[in-house]
Amino acid sequence: MEDLKQAYEVLGLPETATKEELENRYFLLTRRARSQKMREGNESDPEGVLDIDAISEAYRFIRDYEKKKAEQEYLEKTYGPDKKKAERRQKRAHFFHYYKFHIVIGIVILALIVYGIKSYADHRQHQAELAKLPPANLSVMFYGNYFYGNGFGSDTEPLQNDILTMFPDWKRVIAQLTYVPAEMKSDQDMALLQKAMIVVMEDKSDLFVMDKANFEKLAPQGAFVPFDTLTEPEAATLAQSGAAVKSKTEDDTDEHVYGIDLSQTAIGKELKISGSTEYVAAVRINAKNPDSALAFIRHFEDEAKS
């Protein structure tokens, strides 16, 4: 087939025929050609013998032409009428289409590298700032159904300052709060509980202040030091007070004093901690400043008695 006009003539269609007219004409001619072949010359067709090969060739020629024409129109519409510029734009579009996954992965890796470098730099800067500070006289963790400030993740620096005002001789206090939901009511509660479990494993605070439920969970696991093993004078005095809380551990079935109940003191009010009104203070095993931890407990005990 040499040209479009000849193809339309073979099919008996004008060049203005629609796609639907083309399909219908081709279907009609091929059906008629098969019918002629089945009759094998027994009956003559008034329109003459149809050449199925010529019909099919003409049909494919027109279809290919229309397909190329549509593609060209799409390219001009999408990439512009200038052929060279359109080719360059098309290549760029194809590149991003076929390699978009690799590009996204590359961007993610680059972002992770940048984030890692920034995090490392921030960590070094934070460590340098900490090195300039005096050693902490006490590190205390409030662990339980407690709230401070505006909610989760609130700055605890005001809490640290409030503790420092109670102990003028101290230079620095580290105070943290980990919220532990009392009940599991949502996925968020489960996530907070998992975070709290990690804190227990990793945190090395000298003193833990907890609600009774969490004290009863942690004390048997050997998280706290029994008061009768502490050499500081305050330890014996506190252990003999009515606020002493005993427990057993998995390794020691004898009861020992592991905590001091501060629930009847003004600790929550003075430190602006809300939530549970239960406060059991316990010295963490291997605490660096057990004397300061005991002084903290004794401070609120003495206040309650006065």
C-alpha torsion sign, points 251, 254, 259, 262: positive
Which CATH number does the domain housing residue 225 bear? 3.40.190.10
Do 143 and 116 sit in the same domain of this protein? Answer: no
CA distance linking residue 6 with residue 210, whole number of Å? 94
Q: Convert the pLDDT of each residue in 122-138 to its tens digit.
A: 888 877 877 788 899 99
| Distances in whole angstroms, Cα of residue 214 to Cα of each of 247, 264, 267 | 13, 18, 18
Count of structural domains within the chain: 3
- Between these two residues, 97 and 55, which has the higher pLDDT value? 55
Tell me the average pLDDT across 163-167.
95
Q: Convert the pLDDT of each residue in 93-126 to its tens digit.
A: 666 667 778 788 888 899 999 999 998 888 888 7
Q: SS3 of 253, please? A: coil
Q: Residue 136 corresponds to which amino acid? A: A
| Distances in whole angstroms, Cα of residue 1 to Cα of each of 13, 30, 47, 182, 265 | 15, 18, 22, 84, 103
Average pLDDT of the chain to the nearest whole number: 86
- The pTM of this model reads 0.60
Cβ-based burial of 11 (10 A; exposed 0-12, middle 13-18, buried ≥19):
buried
Last residue of a domain, one of 36, 55, 79: 79
Q: Convert the pLDDT of each residue in 202-241 to its tens digit.
A: 899 999 999 999 999 999 999 999 999 999 888 999 999 9
60 Cβ neighbours under 8 A, 6+ residues apart = none
Do 69 and 205 sit in the same domain of this protein? Answer: no
Do 173 and 191 sit in the same domain of this protein? Answer: yes
Do 150 and 98 sit in the same domain of this protein? Answer: no
Do 17 and 99 sit in the same domain of this protein? Answer: no
* Axis crossing angle, helix 19-39 with helix 4-11, rounded to the nearest 10: 50
Do 164 and 273 sit in the same domain of this protein? Answer: yes
Do 87 and 186 sit in the same domain of this protein? Answer: no
246 neighbors 256 (Cβ within 8 angstroms): yes
Sorting pLDDT into bands at 50, 70 and 90, what band is 159?
very high
176 neighbors 161 (Cβ within 8 angstroms): no
Do 228 and 284 sit in the same domain of this protein? Answer: yes
Range of the domain at 87: 81-132
Answer yes or no: is pLDDT of 39 > 80. Answer: no
Q: Convert the pLDDT of each residue in 257-300 to its tens digit.
A: 999 999 999 999 999 999 999 999 999 999 999 999 999 999 99
